């Protein structure tokens, strides 16, 4: 019997199947050919939602609506105050609908209900912060160019934005993009993952209730081919922002290149936490456990590898294993559950394949290492897994497993730790644990990552921008830099008086 903490299935009445449709130019509609997709709960096996399955026609119609809405200025030419008022109303409606949205997100994604509630309610703060940016948006001025010259640098909305979001944080990640695009004055076409479409559709209802003009936000449901491909390649789209795998991100960048539209990508990560002997080891161990099991490890910011100083490696790993056994895996609808289900059987098999390959390569599985059966529920769970004896060349140490699998490596010096951290294709985030401020600062300056945490993990705020380097992506989200992603910069140079000297000689 596994010595783990399991939460068995609870008795509950599941909601009726949610029917999701496209939102195009303010109208809800099915696909022209009647095609649909069906989503079964990874934890309960029941049908959660049926969604219209869009194609090229629906994607092009949505782009047409967004283009018209931008060009006629119904949103882009409103004052920042007017745009902010709508965003603030959306935030209120999100909070009022948190329980409804969290329940369906839990059933579609497999994440715990408490986590889903936190994400949905927390997303309201992203909308509020974006509203504040709408009212404080400004450019620059140059009043020192001479007595007869004045120049200003204007910020203008980039135009029509395609937004493609993933299944792991469907509402949170949408809220890292959409309110900032709207604050800038852009119009949008949104494509959620076909695995988790429903909270995006509910948001469409809330946008209409908040008074957003028709056509400003359009939602097209369906697969990457052809919907996502159309949103990336259509010349009427000025920008595409995507969150997902690095492989798909490369494809989107290639599709967008023909029209040279702006591309923002938030992609994968192989994020390290580095633990020095002088750290608060109890807090570090707890953060490591949180970092790898949060959202079942299906998180671009997952702390999927730890680098532990040789002097404490064995004892620290034992502490992490002991804490892992106490983490509650099980029914996502039980508020006591901390870790839910894997999103699909195919993804579960991929996770298990990485662990099997590591074993074959000589690594040791100190905990877990296989599927997990939760009493009363389906098979789409995976054990908390800790793999030791890992070498830097192993796939499990270099590639994004995207599951509850932690790899343990060791180091001797700060320079060696930084070499291991930076010897990766990814550069999304990194963390360091030490009571020595000099160690923390040296690590932070040397680590190739978009975010570095010291003595904490995955703390985030709407004000603090987020994004990666190397193959973890392009551009930034949230914070002021997140708003700037959706802006074009225009320089306006003005001459005061008739002071321009003629260029052609001999004029009278």
Per-residue pLDDT, 443 = 98
402 CB-near residues (< 8 Å, 6+ apart): 268, 297, 298, 299, 302, 347, 350, 351
Per-residue pLDDT, 507 = 82
Per-residue pLDDT, 438 = 98
pLDDT at 1 over 80: no
How far is the first Cα of the chain from the last one, in angstroms, to the nearest whole number? Answer: 101
Give the separation between CA 271 and CA 449, rounded to whole angstroms: 9
Phi/psi of residue 255, nearest 5 degrees:
-65, -35
Cβ(19)–Cβ(342) below 8 Å: no
Mean pLDDT of 149-163: 98
Joined tokens for residue 156: 């203008």
Mean pLDDT of 483-491: 98
pLDDT at 35 over 60: yes
Q: Which residues are paired to 40 by β-bridges?
A: 47
Cβ(90)–Cβ(207) below 8 Å: yes
Res. 508 pLDDT band, cuts 50 70 90: low
Cβ(200)–Cβ(170) below 8 Å: yes
Mean pLDDT of the chain: 97
Mean pLDDT of 348-369: 98
Distances (CA, A) of 243 to 130, 202, 266: 19, 20, 5
Whole-number percent of the chain with pLDDT over 70: 100
pLDDT at 416 over 80: yes
pLDDT at 332 over 70: yes
Phi/psi of residue 234, nearest 5 degrees:
-60, 130
Strands (E), 119-186: 140-142, 149-157, 160-164
Give the separation between CA 128 and CA 147, rounded to whole angstroms: 42
Give the separation between CA 138 and CA 155, rounded to whole angstroms: 7
pLDDT digits (tens, 9 = 90+) for 67-101: 999 999 999 999 999 999 999 999 999 999 999 99
Mean pLDDT of 128-145: 97
Residues forming the active site: 266, 300
Mean pLDDT of 170-185: 98
Produce one character per residue of 149-177: b if its CB has 16 or more CB atoms within 10 Å, e if not. ebeeeebebbbbbbbbbbbbbbbbbbbbb
Q: Which residues are paired to 154 by β-bridges?
A: 490
Mean pLDDT of 322-327: 98
Q: In which order are the strands placed within the sheet that holds 305-309?
A: 364-367, 385-388, 405-411, 305-309, 272-275, 429-433, 451-454
Produce one character per residue of 469-504: b if its CB has 16 or more CB atoms within 10 Å, e if not. ebbbbbbbbbbeebbbbbbeeeeeeeeeeeeeeeee
Give the separation between CA 174 and CA 190, rounded to whole angstroms: 9
Cβ(199)–Cβ(105) below 8 Å: yes
Give the separation between CA 284 and CA 275, rounded to whole angstroms: 7
Nearest-CA neighbor of 188 among 169, 203, 209, 166? 203
């Amino acid at each position: 019997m596994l010595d783990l903490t399991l939460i068995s299935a609870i008795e509950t009445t599941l909601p009726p199947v949610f029917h999701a449709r496209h939102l195009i130019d303010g109208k809800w509609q099915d696909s022209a050919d009647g095609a649909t997709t069906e989503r079964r709960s990874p934890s309960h096996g029941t049908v959660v939602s049926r969604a219209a399955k869009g194609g090229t026609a629906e994607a092009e119609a949505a782009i047409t609506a967004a283009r018209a809405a931008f060009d006629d200025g119904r949103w882009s030419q409103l004052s920042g105050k007017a745009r902010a008022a709508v965003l603030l109303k959306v935030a209120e409606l999100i909070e009022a609908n948190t329980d409804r949205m969290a329940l369906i997100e839990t059933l579609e994604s497999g994440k715990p209900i408490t986590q889903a509630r936190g994400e949905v309610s927390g997303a309201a703060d992203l909308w509020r912060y974006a509203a504040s940016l709408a009212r404080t948006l400004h450019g620059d001025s140059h009043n020192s160019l001479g007595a007869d010259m004045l120049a200003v640098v204007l910020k203008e909305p980039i135009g029509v934005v395609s937004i493609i979001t993933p299944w792991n944080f469907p509402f949170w990640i949408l809220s890292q993009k959409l309110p900032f695009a709207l604050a800038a004055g852009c119009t949008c076409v949104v494509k959620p993952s076909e695995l988790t479409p429903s909270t995006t559709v509910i948001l469409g209802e809330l946008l209409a209730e908040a008074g957003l003009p028709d056509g400003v936000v359009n939602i097209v449901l369906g697969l990457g081919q052809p919907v996502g491909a159309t949103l990336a390649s259509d010349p009427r789209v000025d920008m595409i922002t995507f969150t997902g795998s690095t492989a798909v991100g490369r494809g989107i960048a290639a599709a967008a290149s023909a029209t040279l539209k702006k591309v923002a990508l938030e992609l994968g990560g192989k994020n390290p936490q580095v633990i020095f002997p002088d750290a608060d080891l109890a807090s570090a161990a707890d953060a490591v456990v949180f970092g790898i099991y949060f959202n079942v490890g299906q998180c671009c910011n997952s702390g999927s590898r730890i680098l532990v100083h040789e002097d404490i490696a064995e004892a620290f790993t034992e502490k992490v294993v002991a804490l892992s056994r106490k983490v509650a895996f099980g029914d996502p609808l039980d508020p006591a559950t901390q870790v839910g289900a894997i999103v699909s059987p195919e993804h579960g098999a991929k996770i298990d394949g990485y662990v099997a390959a590591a074993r074959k390569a000589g690594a040791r599985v100190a905990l877990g290492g296989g599927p997990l059966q939760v009493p009363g529920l389906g098979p789409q769970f995976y054990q908390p897994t800790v793999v030791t004896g890992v070498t830097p060349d192993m796939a499990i140490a270099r590639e994004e497993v995207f599951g509850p699998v932690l790899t343990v490596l060791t180091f001797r010096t700060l320079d060696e730790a930084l070499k291991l951290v930076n010897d990766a294709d990814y550069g999304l985030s990194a963390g360091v644990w030490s009571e020595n401020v000099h160690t923390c600062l040296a690590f932070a300056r040397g680590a190739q990552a978009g975010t570095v945490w010291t003595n904490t993990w995955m703390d985030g705020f709407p004000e603090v921008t987020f994004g990666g380097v190397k193959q973890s992506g392009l551009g930034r989200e949230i914070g002021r830099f997140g708003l700037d992603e959706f802006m074009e910069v225009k320089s306006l140079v003005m001459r005061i008086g008739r002071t321009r000297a003629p260029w052609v000689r001999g004029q009278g």
